[in-house]
Amino acid sequence: MKAALYTEYGGPEVVRIGDIPRPRPGKGEILVRVGAAGVTTADWRLRAAAFPGLFTALAGRLMFGIFGPRNPVLGGEFAGTVAEVGAEVTGFAPGDRVFGFAMRGAHAEYMTMPARGAVLQTPEGLSDTEAASLPFGSLCALEFLDRFAGVKPGERVLILGASGGVGVHAVQVAAALGAHVTGVASAAREGLVRGLGAAEFVDYRTTPPASLTGPYDVIFDTVGALGYPEAAPMLAMGGRFVPLNFGLADMGQMRRARRNGHRVILKVSGDSRGGLERITAMLAEGKLRPVIDREYPFSEIRAAHEHVESRSRKGSVVLRIADRKHLRAAA
């Protein structure tokens, strides 16, 4: 089967389409014929070994390969069709349309996935591209805003990077939780961000986030624009600062934040099946919708990586894996 492979860390050029054996589903696993898969910030960070901060860089290399990637196939969020089921799998059958989030392996024609993992039947009416655009950002947004930060109705939530891969979902999730949302991105994104549920919008190019006054109950920083020292003056009493990327310096701020009546929340997303069930319910209730910035044929995966790494976009970036046109040329 065709897969996007990388065997060294580097720029988008280290990714190439090649042939590897089709995986076989083990006990408790399903084999998915991938229809579409997202290219996320996690993918370019793993491809480039661009782990923010010294501590994260060390931990990242230990987890994913010290001198080069341990696993050659990237790709977390996916949608497709069950091709085979392994022994002892219940709840899925060949032909079922599914979507979900895996640790790796979605940038390939086939992938295996634990049947009890973060995978569900694709909701009626969603295309593979739409379904594959959701898991990374929406699971992260739900986990951080609801579970970790505990956003309550009426709270004021500032979302930095509101048009990004996580941001477009975070605005919708925060609004669904009943928050008064302020979204931060560049001016051209204002209509999109307000349309997703933000009551207020800030253009970071004319108003630097550190100059905002708030007060906010939750500051969700998907970009790395602020540290706790800049966030503290704009946090209300009981406020939570939630940076998605963090290092040792942020850990050092946790005690100071407690003294100020704040919390600095430093966590890693769990990407659970339960989270995916809630995402599916929110879709059905019309509280969440896919936001797709660009679609690329599988053969143009390098261009997709480049675009995602630019850190300027309006929603998810998705590869049409089932689109086999030009694959031979890209190999």
Query: Under the rule (CB under 6 A), what is the footprint of ligand NAP?
Result: 40-42, 45, 140, 160-167, 184-186, 189, 204, 209, 222-223, 225, 244-245, 268-269, 311-313
Q: Which is nearer to ligand NAP, 189 or 302 (CB)?
A: 189
In the complex with ligand NAP, the residue whose CB is nearer, 41 or 299, is 41
Q: How far is the CB of 323 from ligand NAP (least distance, A)?
A: 23
User: Which CB, 230 or 323, lies closer to ligand NAP?
Assistant: 230
Angle CA 65–71–76, to nearest 5: 110
Nearer to ligand NAP, 97 or 313 (CB): 313
- Min separation Cβ 22 and ligand NAP, Å: 29
Closest distance of CB 121 from ligand NAP, Å:
24
Q: How far apart are CA 91 and CA 89, in angstroms?
A: 7
For ligand NAP, the closer of residues 86 and 197 by Cβ is 197
Nearest residue to ligand NAP on Cβ basis: 164
Q: Decide: 276 and 136 in contact? Cβ < 8 Å.
A: no
Which residue's CB is nearer to ligand NAP, number 94 or number 211? 211
Least distance to ligand NAP, CB of residue 101, Å:
11
Shortest reach from residue 108's CB to ligand NAP, in Å: 21
Nearer to ligand NAP, 115 or 193 (CB): 193
Q: Tell me the closest approach of the beta carbon of residue 6 to ligand NAP, in angstroms.
A: 17
Q: How far is the CB of 27 from ligand NAP (least distance, A)?
A: 29
